[in-house]
Amino acid sequence: MKTVILRSQALQGATASDLSAAVQYLIGVDGGGTGTRVRLSDRDGVLLGQGESGPSALGQGAEQAWRHIQQAVQAAAAQAGLGELDLSRCAIGLGLSGTGVEAQVEAFSALQPGYALVALDNDGFTTLLGAHGGEPGAVVAAGTGTIGEGLRRNGERAYISGWGWVCGDEGSGAWLGLKAMRHAQQALDGRAEAGALARAVWAVAGQDRATILAWCAAAGQHGYASLAPLVFDHAPNDPVAAGFVADAVSELERLAHALDPQAELPLALCGSIALRLSSEFSGTIRARCVSPRGDSAEGALHLVRSALQR
């Protein structure tokens, strides 16, 4: 996708210099299916405060996304000792999951609460910007969801995976949780051996059909991702869990190869799952890896600074 840029009604006809003069604070937002992280800075890039709140993935609803973003923004402002921010003096950059669905972006944009400038892109792109400081590179990000992003040396963007937790996001926490739940259901049926992983899932979701079905109906992306730690915890003594971990490594390596077939770009691994699996990657992949310079919230600040200069 291209970065979506929105101005407040009051600044629709303003020049770039007028817009820049109106902005006192910059806000960077990293929003996914598990939580929202915000970084607040002044115009010179000096960090003033940070805040966190609940999930702001667009697939979970535009109203919830803005509610949690605003909660995290105000938490950052409070940490900075600023009180309630005047949004008309703020420019906000947002890296949110779910921006690939146009209707979700439109619903979110329609609820813009009055920021002077909004720059919206997917969380994979802001992770990329943060990891490589806006320079060419590639990122495999696997946490609650999975996405691969690349910025080629000619300025082109590459986008891999990120199809959503229901039918994609291979190698993610939600994907691992779904696999763990399927195995636990099969074990309850007698179709699979009830090992340590199956029993651990039962302890969380229930040990009979009705209770497990109720858990699954209410779980959502975050609920399934919460089962992923059980897979890692039991991988040393449960071959099924160990197999799921190996599957995740394989899927993320496939993503990295598809993202940059010629292996020309530095690669950063980001997100809790990718970082946990980093030592399991092949030597070829590890040789391309670099330490991220910054995170997705820092990338969102980079995004909004660039938008202000347009």
User: For 252-291, how does the pLDDT look when each residue is reduced to its tens digit (9 = 90+)?
Assistant: 999 999 998 888 899 999 889 999 998 889 888 888 898 8
Same domain? 67 vs 171: no
Question: Hey, what amino acid is at 207?
Answer: Q
User: For 128-156, how does the pLDDT look when each residue is reduced to its tens digit (9 = 90+)?
Assistant: 999 998 899 999 989 888 989 998 988 88
Same domain? 75 vs 144: no
Question: Over the chain, what is the mean pLDDT?
Answer: 90
What is 56-118 written as a DSSP string? Answer: --GGG-HHHHHHHHHHHHHHHHHHTT--S--GGGEEEEEEETTTTSHHHHHHHHHT--S-SEE
Distance CA 59, CA 70 (A): 18
What 3-state DSSP class applies to 215? Answer: helix
User: For 26-83, how does the pLDDT look when each residue is reduced to its tens digit (9 = 90+)?
Assistant: 999 999 877 899 999 998 889 999 999 999 989 889 999 999 999 999 999 999 999 8
Task: Give the tokens for residue 220.
Answer: 């959502």
Distance CA 276, CA 269 (A): 10
Residues in the chain: 310
Same domain? 251 vs 266: yes
* 114 vs 1, higher pLDDT: 114
Instruction: Return the pLDDT at 162.
Output: 82
Same domain? 57 vs 178: no
Instruction: Return the pLDDT at 16.
Output: 67
Same domain? 62 vs 146: no
Same domain? 157 vs 284: yes
CATH number at residue 299: 3.30.420.40
Domain count across the chain:
2
Same domain? 179 vs 270: yes
Distance CA 283, CA 213 (A): 42
Instruction: Return the pLDDT at 252.
Output: 95
Neighbour count for residue 189 (Cβ, 10 Å): 9
C-beta of residue 80 within 8 angstroms of C-beta of residue 40: yes
Same domain? 278 vs 172: yes
Print the domain residue range for 88. 4-133+295-308
Q: pTM for the whole thing?
A: 0.76
Same domain? 158 vs 240: yes
User: For 235-249, how does the pLDDT look when each residue is reduced to its tens digit (9 = 90+)?
Assistant: 999 999 999 999 999
